[in-house]
Amino acid sequence: MNVFRPLPLQLFILFAFSGLLLSGPGPAMAALDPITLTSEIDGLNQQGSDLVDSINSTILTPFTAAGRLAALETDMIDYSNNVFAVYDNILGAAGSTMSLDNDLLTSLQDLSSTMAALSQGTMGLSSQLAAIAGSGMDSSFSSMLRLSDDIGVMANRILEMADKILLMADNIGLMADRILETQVIQNNNIELVINASLQTQRNMLALIQLYSL
């Protein structure tokens, strides 16, 4: 899984200011409103938290696994579409500026934590599936792999989202400590996502090999 890591803070600030100095005037972009953006990200956090609760409360049996995982996969796709919609809004505002505040940075931190919780929950489901696995469960194994992959893709988009927001900041100096804190939390969470996703994939690949699917 490809992972984009934030730049060290000193390099990030240097590149950000260099880009502003060298870019010169360009076409006007619609600036993002920090309050509206924070609200959109909070909405993603709420939806993600509900999905985490749904994953953590799921009990798999040989008879229900396929249906339960298919339902979770549908919910994950819906969530992924909403994450990408917010990402596209941010991408569309590239080149504009905005002022960061504590609420926005906290929401970004929470969003990366949500991804970590989703990956941990999915890893738990893969362990459940391993305990009940048998022949004829290929659709369940495939659903689990897709769930893990969706989380990894979203985690990358969220890192990109945070980087693009920081590049728009017109108050980097004032928010330097909070930006650094956000990057540390995101790095820790992406490490959790990577490890959980790899373990989920190992579990599923072992089952696929075992049952010669």
Q: Please write the tens of the pLDDT for every residue from 156-170.
A: 999 999 999 988 888
Interacting residues of 107 by C-beta distance below 8 A, sequence separation 6+: 38, 41, 42, 45
Angle (CA) 204 207 211, round 5°: 145
Residue 169, helix vs strand vs coil: strand
Helix (H) or strand (E) holding 159: helix 138-168
Q: Please write the tens of the pLDDT for every residue from 108-136.
A: 999 999 999 999 999 999 999 999 988 78
Interacting residues of 187 by C-beta distance below 8 A, sequence separation 6+: 5, 6
- Which of 9-13, 70-74, 103-107, 149-153 has the lowest average pLDDT? 9-13
User: From CA 213, how far away is CA 205, in angstroms rounded?
Assistant: 10
Residue 101, helix vs strand vs coil: coil
In this prediction the pTM is 0.83
User: From CA 137, how far away is CA 160, in angstroms rounded?
Assistant: 36
Question: Would you say how long the chain is, in residues?
Answer: 213
Q: Please write the tens of the pLDDT for every residue from 135-159.
A: 788 889 999 999 999 999 999 999 9
Cα–Cα separations (whole angstroms), residue 63 to 66, 134, 136, 171: 8, 11, 11, 55
Report the 10 Å Cβ neighbour count for 15. 12
| CB of 84 closer than 8 Å to CB of 161 | no
